[in-house]
Amino acid sequence: MKTFARYVGIYGALWKNSVAREMSFKSNFLLWILVELLWFGLQLSFISVLYLHTEHIGTWTKWQVVMLIGGSHFIQQIFQAFFLVNCTNLSELVRTGKLDFLLLLPVNTRFIVSLRQVDLGAFVNASSAVGLMVYAAHQLHLVPSLLQVLGFLALCVTGVAIHYCLMFLLASISFWTVRAQGIVWGYYNLFNIARMPDEAFRGLFKAVFTFALPMLLVSNVPVRLLADKLSSPAPVFLLLAMSVVCFCVSEWGWRASMRRYTSASS
């Protein structure tokens, strides 16, 4: 408990530092919120145009897909709030040798590397996703139970953990290549796949983005639970199992990367 309280205190200090940083550049903070909202609006426009030509994508109706887009955006923004900046910055820490200073701190290195900055604007954008899901549920005359909502949130946390583990693993490639931002941002761009129903995909493509890079699982399973579209608990167990596998692989990759690190300043 003493160790846990110590890490909570450290994380609180990191939050204060992030708030101070964001408030020092208020225009940039507001601009990025606006950019994300515009991108969110474009995604909704795309779905509106798509449903002018069809009534269903598989078994997904228009408002169910709108709820899926909201759920996917919520997961993406929560991930962005806690982990995106930190994962993309790992390459620079390795290249410049600044990782040396973090290694000297009396704290778990992965903890400090993963959580040292917080993107506060992403929480604002996540709230817009929640608003969209509430509106979509109203259009569907859907009133989820408390258990469904709690299950949805738990699965969202699981999805965020999967995204973090995979992106951190890809960022660890910088120990071999020095620069890995392109790979990391490439993975981030794949988030757009998660906005579409899993029933829209078939064959190898669906298998890859379900088991190798579980984009479809991360967004579809929580929203299926919320929208009463789960025919069996198997997808939930698969999502939980994938989170354990991703964490183990990510931790193995991080430890292997750290053994290779020789410091840019030495």
Average pLDDT over residues 41-47: 83
- pLDDT tens-place string over residues 217-242: 999 999 999 988 888 899 999 999 99
Instruction: Of 32, 43, 29, give the one whose Cα is nearest residue 73.
Output: 43
pLDDT in tens, 57-101: 888 989 999 999 999 999 999 999 999 999 999 988 888 888 888
Q: Say what the pTM is.
A: 0.91
- Report whether 36 contacts 28 (CB < 8 A): no
* Residue 185 predicted with pLDDT over 90: no
What is the rounded average pLDDT of the residues 8-32?
82
CA nearest neighbour of 95 among 4, 179, 167: 179
Q: Is the pLDDT of residue 255 over 70?
A: yes
- What average pLDDT does this structure show over 144-163? 94
212 secondary structure, DSSP code: I
State the chain's mean pLDDT as an integer. Answer: 88
pLDDT band at 264; cut points 50, 70, 90: low
Calculate mean pLDDT across residues 149-169.
Answer: 95
pLDDT at 139: 93
Looking at residues 25-33, what average pLDDT do you find? Answer: 76
CA distance 220 to 234: 13
Determine the average pLDDT of the residues in 155-182. Answer: 89
Q: What is the 3-state secondary structure (H, E, C) of 125-157?
A: HHHHHHHHHHHHHHHCCCCCCHHHHHHHHHHHH
Contacts of 196 (CB under 8 A, 6+ apart): 57, 65, 68
Mean pLDDT of 43-56: 82
Q: Is the pLDDT of residue 43 over 90?
A: no
Mean pLDDT of 152-160: 95
**Count of C-beta atoms within a 10 Å radius of residue 201:** 17
* Mean pLDDT (whole number) for 172-192: 82
Other Cβ atoms less than 10 A from the Cβ of 65: the count is 23
Euclidean distance between CA atoms 10 and 241, whole angstroms: 30
DSSP code of residue 82? I
pLDDT at residue 79 in the model: 95
Q: Specify the pLDDT at position 265.
A: 56
| Cα(167)–Cα(219) distance, integer angstroms | 16
- For tokens 């550049």, name the residue: 25
- Residue 31 pLDDT: 81
User: What is d(CA 137, CA 149) in angstroms, rounded to the nearest whole number?
Assistant: 12
**In the chain, how long is the greatest CA-to-CA distance?**
63
pLDDT at 252: 95
Q: What is residue 266's predicted lDDT score, i.e. its pLDDT?
A: 54
pLDDT of residue 239: 94
Rounded Cα gap, residues 142 and 227, in angstroms: 7
CA–CA dist 212, 226 (Å, integer):
25
Q: Answer yes or no: are the C-beta atoms of 239 and 74 closer than 8 Å.
A: no
